[in-house]
Structure 1
C-alpha cells in the first residue's frame, strides 16, 4: 500500500482538485484506492459523493485511533458505479502493477469522509504521539494499493500526521507570486519535519496546477518554480481548464467527462499517477 499526501500551505491552489484527478486516474486504472479527507471542509468528500455522518468520519476515528480503524468509516464513492476502461488508459493499469490479474473486477474507490469534527486536531500544538494517529488507523488496510490524503491548507497537527503516515508528499502550487512563496513554506516545513530524525518522508514533489501558457507572468513563475525545486517539479503540469470545475460540480470523475479538454486533463493525471510508482 502506497500512501501519498497532497498538501499546500497556500489555500486556493486546487489541492483537492489534484486529489480528485488522481482518484479518477486510479479508478480508471483499477487501482484499489482510499481517499482520506483530512481537510475539515470536506470538499474532496463532497465531490466524491460521500457525505460524513456523525461518528462516521475521519475526525471521530482520530480521537481514539485503533489499528485499521478507518475501515469502519470508509464508504464507496458513487464514482465506482461508472467504471470506464478506454484503450488510452490500459497502460496505466500495466504501469502501476504488471500483474493486474488479481485486481477486483469491480473498481474500488472508497472515501474516509472529512468534516468539521477533524478541527480538534487542526492546530499547531501537538504531542509526538499524536502524529502516529493516522498511521495507526491505516495500518493493516491491505484492501487498498493506494491511499490519497487531502491535507488541510495549514501546518497543523493534521498535516504533520498525514506526512508522518506517508511514503510521498505532493505539494500543489500555482505559477503565481503568492503560491510560489507558499510552496517554499511547504517544502521548508517538510524538510524541517524530516530533520527531526523521528519522521522521514521518502519522497516529495511539486505538482503545478492551473497553468496558463498564454500568461507571461505565469511563464516567469513557472521558470522560478523549476529553478527552486528542479527535478521535484512533477511532469506534466496541469492546465487551467474550466472542465475540471464542471466535472467537480457534477461530482463526476474527469476521466469520464466528455470532450477534448477533459481527455487532455485525464491523460495528465494518469501520467502523474504512473509517476508515483517510480
Structure 2
C-alpha cells in the first residue's frame, strides 16, 4: 500500500509500523487512524509475521489528536462526533486484539491518544526522557475512548489521579505504575526492543497467539466453575495442537522445535 502517514516494513518475520508525521509530533487524524487500522489488520493475518513493533519518527512518539482534526471536530454534530470516536475505538481494538504480539518502541513524548496506542500494545519500552500526559481534561474533554486500555495498563488508582489532574509524568513514573515495562537510555532503545522481539519469535507462534488471548480473556474475570472449565479446555486444545505436540517432543528429544527451523 501507499501509506500517507505510516512506514510499514517486514524483515525476518518482524514487522515495523512507524508513525511518520514528525512535523505534527505524530498526532492522529482520520487518515492515520484508518491506516493504523488497516496496517494491523493486514499484519495480523500475515503468516510470515511473528511480531510487530510500533514505532515513531521524530522527537515525539504521539501527541494525541491533530490540531486541524480537532478544529474540524469542533463543528461536528453529536452523531458525527460519535462516528468519529468509533473510528478511533476500532483502531485501538484492532491493535489490542491483533493475533501477533505488539511492542511499543517509545522514543519520545506520548500524550493523550498516544497513551491509548501504547496501552493497546503488549509490551512497552520507553526511553528515560519520555514524558506522558493524559491531557484531555485541560481541554474540557475526557480520555473516554482510550480508557479501557489505559486503565488496564496503569491500574484504576493511577488512572484516577492522571485522568483527573492531567499532570505530565516521567518514564520512571510510568514504569512504577506499570504503564511501561522497561525504561532505557536512548542509546539502548533498539537493543531493548530487539531483545523482546527475540524472546517472542523464539516461542511457538500459535502458543504466543493463544497466550495473548488468554490474558485478554481471563484478566479481571471472577474465579468460577465456568472459568475453571474454560482454562482446562484451553490447555487441552493447545496440548493436542500440532505446535503443542512438537514443542513437548522437541523438549524431550533435546532438539530445537520445528518453528525455529523456519
Q: State the TM-score, normalizing by the size of structure 1.
A: 0.32
- Specify which structure has the bigger relative contact order, considering alpha-carbon pairs within 8 angstroms and separated by 6 or more residues: 1
Higher helix share: 2
Higher strand share: 2
Q: Could you say which structure has the larger radius of gyration? A: 2
